Amino acid sequence: MTPPNTDVIPAPLSVETGDGQGFLLDAGTGIEAGPGTEQVARWLRATVGAATGLPLDPHTGDARRVRLGILPALGGPEAYRLTADAERVLIEGASPAGLFWGAQTFRQLLGPDAFRRAPVTRRQEWEVPAVAIHDAPRFRWRGLMLDVARHFMPKEGVLRYLDLMAAHKLNVFHFHLTDDQGWRIRIERHPRLTEIGSWRARTKTGHRASPLWEEKPHGGYYTQDDIREIVAYAAERHITVVPEIDVPGHSQAAIAAYPELGNTDVIDTDALPVWDTWGINPNVLAPTDTTLRFYEGVFEEVLELFPSEFVHVGGDECPKDQWRRSGTAQARIRELGLADEDELQSWFIGHFDAWLAARGRRLIGWDEILEGGLAKGAAVSSWRGYAGGIAAARAGHDVVMCPEQQVYLDHRQAPGPDEPVPIGWVRTLEDVYRFEPVPPELTPEEARHVLGTQANVWTEVMEDHARVDYQTFPRLAAFAEVAWSDLPAPAERDFTAFEHRMAAHYRRLDALGVAYRPPAGPLPWQRRPGVLGRPKDGPPPSR
């Protein structure tokens, strides 16, 4: 049959509509939960049940039902199949993860009000159209990076973003926990990291060239129980949390807490505060055994909290000037027989690559870890365009594509003067929809190293969750379709059809309380007049 118009986002692999009546969900509808599906049944009762006011009790007798099952033969581990007719809805997944994504599609088919937390309608029946959907994701890594170091997001906000990710079938949450402006995770053996490093005395408002300051302390951190809760909450939604602990750059908050971590023979590290502005910070970690042992202790606690395969170590934007002037750093270069400071950073990253590998984990870092030689087994987050990812894939390393020119969601969404704190290039909803994660330069063998893709949300100019929502949505919906769906080449993608489906999706976002950017432009309270940004003119570089 010809696939109908469907408002499901991301677009399924195949959709067929039936000729008969759809399925009516009502007070008598039960859930038949096959083996291994109980968690999804509980999720449906907690979400769809709350929105509709229907009990969705366990199925008994001959009542019409929503049947859940695991069917590994469906295909890849996240594949699912959803069929609906007048008698039942059948949702089958190749695994519990696939089943969960099928349940997300079921929720979308019920309509936008199914995304509310309590009923807003008195209707007694909710209809799912007669339909047969078969679906599976294109990529195994469909990520969102959230920076909570620059502006802290309290735990309940993080849990909310995990729900928003799940609603868009995203499955990797890259949790950027440390930077110059704040350390956000409690480390029991190093308590000053949060006692001192988790807050700053004031904050730059806008771009670093702005004359404006918010003259009040800003901070916050997650206890280890908070982290356990976040990780468990994510796991229930089949989302993996990948923590990022930045080394050796972006580390002034840690040095402010423990001055011995810095290059003490070059600067007075005792005088360094947690940084209150933005940009590339010159104060980096000293390449000493003291620093290595300190961060091994940090990572030991991190590994206890995060069961993820990958651990992100940053590795980006590490100025080498202090190492060039440091006798200690130069002695370490000579001791190791290294050529220069780039190789010293490679040695630093390589140490933690080996350390993590010995504990059954894998290191991933920003594409600067390529400089001076890439650690064996390390994976790369390619952010400075595609070049780093191409080089890494050709060298046999796994890659996550997240080029700033395409999927940095802190970049402005339109060229108009009302865009709040305009940063970077214009990246419209359509621009994100036409992003292609796999560079055409790669051979099929090399392309297999592209694990997937990720959208990054850096929060220097996002002071609260409403600003994060505005920058992230609706573009995250377009990104989710790029990451999940089997789309044609960028120029051939039907953006008009996507916009049509977005008409329904905006109503879902409304029900979820997302403060997205409206298609017509920012609402008055979403603007930030007079706050300096740093817009870049013209189209971004293609590579």
Q: Which residues are known catalytic residues?
A: 317
CA distance 209 to 200: 19
Cβ-in-10-Å burial (0-12, 13-18, 19+) of 42 comes to middle
CA distance 141 to 108: 22
CA distance 142 to 455: 9
Strands 23-25 and 534-535, by their bridges, are: unpaired
Could you tell me the two tokens for 313? 């170590």
Helix axes 289-305, 341-357, angle to 10 degrees: 40
Could you tell me the two tokens for 220? 């916050």
CA distance 477 to 11: 10
CA distance 293 to 63: 62
Looking up tokens 């099929």 gives 444
Q: Helical H runs in 485-542?
A: 495-512
Q: Left (φ > 0), alpha (ψ -120 to 50) or beta: where does 385 sit?
A: left
Q: How many residues does the chain have?
A: 543
CA distance 505 to 477: 9
The one-letter code for the residue type at 123 is: R
Note whether 399 and 389 are within 8 A (CB).
yes
CA distance 80 to 92: 6
Residue by residue, DSSP assigns 96-160 as HHHHHHHHHHHHHHT-GGGGSSS-----S-EEE-SEEEEE--S-SEEEEEEE-SSS---HHHHHH
Q: Collapse the DSSP code of 260 into the 3-class scheme (helix H, G, I; strand E, B; otherwise coil) and give the result.
A: helix
The one-letter code for the residue type at 523 is: L
Note whether 453 and 141 are within 8 A (CB).
yes
Element (H, E) at 283: none
Note whether 142 and 172 are within 8 A (CB).
yes
Strand partners of residue 379: 364
Could you tell me the two tokens for 248? 């050796």
